[in-house]
Amino acid sequence: MATAPPRGALIVFEGGDRCGKTTQCSKIVERLKSQGVDAVMWRFPDRSTSIGAAINAYLSNQSQLDDAVIHMLFVANRLEKREEMLRLLAGGTTLVLDRYSYSGVAYTAAKAVAHLSIDYCKSLEVVLPAADLVVHMSMSPEATAARGGYGEERYEKVEFQARVMEAFAQLRDERWAAIDAAGTIDAIHEQVAAVVEPAVRRAQEGAPLGRLWDYVPMELPAAPQRQQQQQSGAVAADTVVEVKIAQSGAAAKVEASPVGASPAPLLSS
């Protein structure tokens, strides 16, 4: 397999509501940082944007939206982060995401709306990068329903969550790692670390970043350091030095300045 420049890894945590994704995202980011990896955590939906605010109102049952409209808002919420995502990955930052496009497809598919099939929903996100690893936090809907706070948001219903799990099963491939989310926090964390750390190393070693859903390699923007090196090289290649020699008596003085720059004054002896 051809390799690309070193980059950050894209690690995604998926699973049903209240299965412990956020806790494990936070713990693996701290672990990676302790190992010297530049890692940050994002959550989708990103409720800090105007699009995210509309999504939040819908999820908290403060507004009503057509199924297609809310799906498009979820897609747009991810797309508005695309450029920043690619820039960070190119610069070597590992992104750990609490939900991503996989949830977007699975939750809409679980609604069984004829014109919002899995294939259609997937087609809207092909410009986004695919995860290097999807950590699937596996837990039954009945078990998550017993956790605190369950039922506060629109999708936190056992029957609906069961359909979401079925949709996740249709999306699963070789990049997914199933983690038993019913254990202790520390035990789950060790399972997570065992699959995340190799994925991060592969990205650091230059494994290409693929796109959703076919993994065709994506071109990343030049990392800031490489851009500076390229710019410095271009300046150096284009610089011609003029040498001026001023003589005063027996002493010779040499001065140099780039062509195009204001000529340096000749120093007197």
Q: Torsions phi, psi of 257, nearest 5?
A: -150, 145
Interacting residues of 261 by C-beta distance below 8 A, sequence separation 6+? none
Architecture of domain 10-225: 3-Layer(aba) Sandwich (3.40)
pTM of the complete model beyond 0.85: no
Handedness of CA 106, 108, 113, 117 (dihedral sign): negative
Q: What is the pLDDT of residues 13-66, one digit of tens each?
A: 999 998 999 999 999 999 999 999 999 999 999 999 999 999 999 999 999 999
Percent of the chain with pLDDT over 90: 77
pLDDT for 73 equals 98
Q: Which residues pair with 13 in a beta bridge?
A: 98, 135
- The Cα-based distances of 108 to 29, 56, 70, 163, 177 in angstroms read 29, 16, 9, 10, 22
Q: Which sequence spans correspond to the domains of the chain?
A: 10-225, 239-269
Q: What is the pLDDT of residues 120-133, one digit of tens each?
A: 999 999 999 999 99
pLDDT for 151 equals 87
Q: What is the pLDDT of residues 212-242, one digit of tens each?
A: 999 999 999 997 665 555 555 544 444 443 4
Kindly report the CA angle at 167 between 67 and 13, in degrees rounded to 5? Answer: 95
Measured from the Cβ of residue 95, the count of other Cβ atoms closer than 10 Å reads: 23
Q: What is the pLDDT of residues 139-160, one digit of tens each?
A: 999 998 888 788 889 999 999 9
Closest by Cα among 14, 16, 58 to 159: 16
